[in-house]
Amino acid sequence: MERRAIAIQGIVQGVGFRPFVFRLATALKLHGFVKNQTGDVMIEVEGDSPSLDRFLNELQNHPPPLAKIETLTWRPCATRGDVTFEIHDSDRQTGGEIFISPDIATCDDCLRELFDPSDRRFGYPFINCTNCGPRLTIVTGAPYDRSRTTMRTFAMCEMCRAEYENPTDRRFHAQPTCCPACGPTMRALDADGRDICIGDEAVEYLVENLRDGKIAAIKGLGGYHLACDAANDFAVAELRRRKHRDEKPFAVMAGDLAAASVFCNMDARESELLLSPARPIVLLAASRLSTITPAVAPGNPLLGVMLPYTPLHHLLMRKIGRPIVMTSGNRSDEPIAHHDADAVERLAGIADVFIVHNREIHVRCDDSVTRIADAAELPMRRSRGYAPSPIRLSRRLTLPTLAVGGQLKSTFALGRGHQAFVSHHLGDLDHFEAYRAFERDVKLYEELFDVRPRRVACDLHPDYASTRYASSRAASENLKLIAVQHHHAHMAGCMAENGLDRPVIGVCFDGTGYGTDGAVWGGEFLIGDFRSFRRAAHLRYVPMPGGDMAIREPWRMADAHRIDSGIGENANVTIRRMIDRKFNCPITSSMGRLFDAVAAMTGLRERVSYEGQAAIELEWLAGGVTMDGYPIESSGDDPIVIDTRPIIRAVAEDVLKKTPAAVVAQRFHRTIIELIVQICRRLRDASRIQCVTLSGGTFNNLLLSSHSAARLREEGFSVFRHRLVPPGDGGISLGQLAIAAATEE
């Protein structure tokens, strides 16, 4: 007889881990207990050594599907002669049960029950279990139990309670457990918010309306979707008109993998990602034979595709049997609607039908958007299904830390020990609603993960709403404030998720980031580590006529670059005057703005309806790269200043010669790729550093990212890219946290 005390860290709570331990111990006739403690699982178990070995072996090798064991340690202890194996209540004194699971797509067992006419949850749109269902989106506080979720208003019926309390049941301690007798109800409303029908009839009503080309607002896990028939030109055009979303692509939901492969091409990795429990939107190459109307993603060679992830989606997709547009339920760039009254009001005039229910969404959570790039995942928006799973930091945080992120595509991150809890996507904090959610969700995460920050990290930009929040909390709670330069945070985020902790060459390309000299940076080569950096090279500064106006109107950047290059004869007179008088013309080294300028020069687009649109279209237009790029010149060596003028003059010459725009786009991409290689080579020669990180929103451009990585590897560099957080500003908070971890107290 012996007894062992086992401690397990990782994603082990809210994923059916304790019942699994219970069943395993019982099967092996071992006695003792299991309990949750400050985010870990503690087990004490006694029996004969071979059984104990088997127990440990099974724990490590066959944990429940959603569990992720990061570390498992054990030590022998004195036997106690237990005669049972028990699941102990959570240890509230030590912080209680810490909830860390994201929302999970309906599992196969629940799906089977959903379509089994003899099951008591047959056709019930709120079916879930320990292995699936809502988590983050319904939680209102800690410790995680039903009374601190939006399910608190539903009293479990006797049958549900029996399942909930039975350690061998799939619904043991599944907080959102419910059934048609005791759980939420779905209702269909008309365009004016009047009741039409409930339950099964509501699904029927939804299907009929979508078939008729109507637009529906559907309450999902993290917010409302707007939906319509993806093959109906008129419906999609009407949705676009009503939503005032001129060109931004819509995502499409397909019933299953086979249905999706009719209208897009995918490889094994992509289909695996589509089917993963997070069920993200995956960007896939649209097939030529697609029945999806082009209005879904105009001009876009890619299509954002997802598979059903709630029981309602499954019921809907089975009944309707065709792909459906599923886009965030909001007007243009506002945050997604998630409260019923609010949704009916805000989506009035857009939706013909509302599918609502009385399980409240507490945390608004958008769909995640991701893709496969060179056989690895490249996240573009990390949100539902991913957040708040922790990301492991190689450096241990000595103090609990809050990192508030940036301003656009914002996320925040809370750190404790080696764990970084990077939040769901909060959107653009200049929207009041988004900012309010940011404030509230920071507090919620602090409670959920039992992290009381003693330090707060923010962007160097003084006017970001997140920076102001950080300063005011630092002042009122007497916390240490760490201001992190934007591109240093990009680089550190990429280092952190790749487990790097030595100096790197950080290639940081994006639209906008506040520089240490007060200029707008964005075409940067940094050399440094978590602790410090030096700006080793950057694009030549040019004016941004009109500041933010230059982001929405790329023709302004084209003029600014032409004037800078001495070929501005035909430039707009007002722009010239603004530049001459330095009136509202911040200077920038932004790579995003250089892409904008070139896109405008090729005649691709003068104005954009969302940031980065011109650059994205330049990538589509290129479709590949040529061998011959434009001249690359630079001056100085600390920092190296990359001259954009020869590039601009060569582009102008090509345009004048009527070189096809696609060729110009290909040459421009080649130029930037070779520029990266050239500068990195020079920096390596001087510093002996051969590790390169590629970070910043510009690296959402797959053509640029893939070719740069390949060329750098050819030249003997080790290249690291983003796989866990987005290269864009959604990854800033992780970088800030990693930098804080390396900063002395």
Q: Binder to Zn ion among 43, 132, 492, 732 (CB under 5 A)?
A: 132
- Is residue 510 involved in binding Fe ion (CB under 5 A)? yes
Of 79-87, 325-333, 392-400, 722-730, which segment contacts Fe ion by CB under 5 A? 722-730
Of 42-50, 184-192, 335-343, 721-729, which segment contacts Fe ion by CB under 5 A? 721-729
Give yes or no for a contact between 346 and 183, defined as CB atoms under 8 angstroms apart: no
Binding mask 682-721 for Zn ion (x = CB under 5 A): ----------------------------------------
Which residues on adjacent β-strands are paired with residue 506?
Answer: 526, 693
Of 39-47, 179-187, 281-289, 614-622, which segment contacts Zn ion by CB under 5 A? 179-187
Tell me the backbone φ, ψ of residue 720, rounded to 5 degrees. Answer: -125, 135
Opening angle at CA 196, ends 190 and 198, nearest 5 = 125
Binding mask 85-114 for Zn ion (x = CB under 5 A): ----------------------x--x----
Cβ proximity to Fe ion, 176 vs 730, nearer residue? 730
- Give the 3-state secondary structure of residue 306: strand
- Give the 3-state secondary structure of residue 10: strand
Numbers of helices and strands, H then E, in the chain: 22, 30
Binding mask 342-361 for Zn ion (x = CB under 5 A): --------------------
Tell me the closest approach of the beta carbon of residue 489 to Fe ion, in angstroms. Answer: 8
Residue nearest to Fe ion (CB): 510
Overall residue count recorded for the chain in this entry: 745
Cβ proximity to Fe ion, 352 vs 510, nearer residue? 510
The per-residue DSSP string of 588-610 comes to E--HHHHHHHHHHHTTS-S--SS
* Number of amino acids touching Fe ion (CB under 5 A): 3
Report the DSSP pairing between strands 520-528 and 504-514: antiparallel
Tell me the closest approach of the beta carbon of residue 479 to Fe ion, in angstroms. Answer: 25
- Is residue 179 involved in binding Zn ion (CB under 5 A)? yes
| Interaction partner, residue 337 (Fe ion, Zn ion, none; CB < 5-8 Å by kind) | none
Cβ proximity to Fe ion, 327 vs 410, nearer residue? 410
| Interaction partner, residue 182 (Zn ion, Fe ion, none; CB < 5-8 Å by kind) | Zn ion
Give the span between the Cα atoms of 598 and 377, in whole angstroms: 29
Give the span between the Cα atoms of 132 and 657, in whole angstroms: 59
Of 81-89, 134-142, 156-164, 205-213, which segment contacts Zn ion by CB under 5 A? 156-164
Give the span between the Cα atoms of 678 and 684, in whole angstroms: 10
Tell me the closest approach of the beta carbon of residue 314 to Zn ion, in angstroms. Answer: 12
Tell me the closest approach of the beta carbon of residue 308 to Zn ion, in angstroms. Answer: 13
The interface with Fe ion within residues 513-542 (CB under 5 A) comprises: 513
Question: Interhelix angle for 661-687 vs 591-601, to 10°?
Answer: 160
- Is residue 157 involved in binding Zn ion (CB under 5 A)? yes
Give the span between the Cα atoms of 287 and 61, in whole angstroms: 40
The interface with Fe ion within residues 328-357 (CB under 5 A) comprises: none
User: What is the C-alpha R_g of the chain?
Assistant: 27
* Number of amino acids touching Zn ion (CB under 5 A): 10
How far is the CA of 573 from the CAs of 563, 570, 580, in angstroms?
11, 8, 10
Say which residues have a Cβ less than 8 Å from residue 543's Cβ, sequence separation at least 6. Answer: 560, 564, 578, 579, 582, 585, 586, 587, 588
Q: Binder to Fe ion among 729, 733, 734, 737 (CB under 5 A)?
A: 729
Q: Exposed/middle/buried for 9, CB within 10 Å: 0-12, 13-18, 19+?
A: buried
Residues that bind Zn ion (CB under 5 A): 107, 110, 129, 131-132, 157, 160, 179, 181-182
Residues that bind Fe ion (CB under 5 A): 510, 513, 729
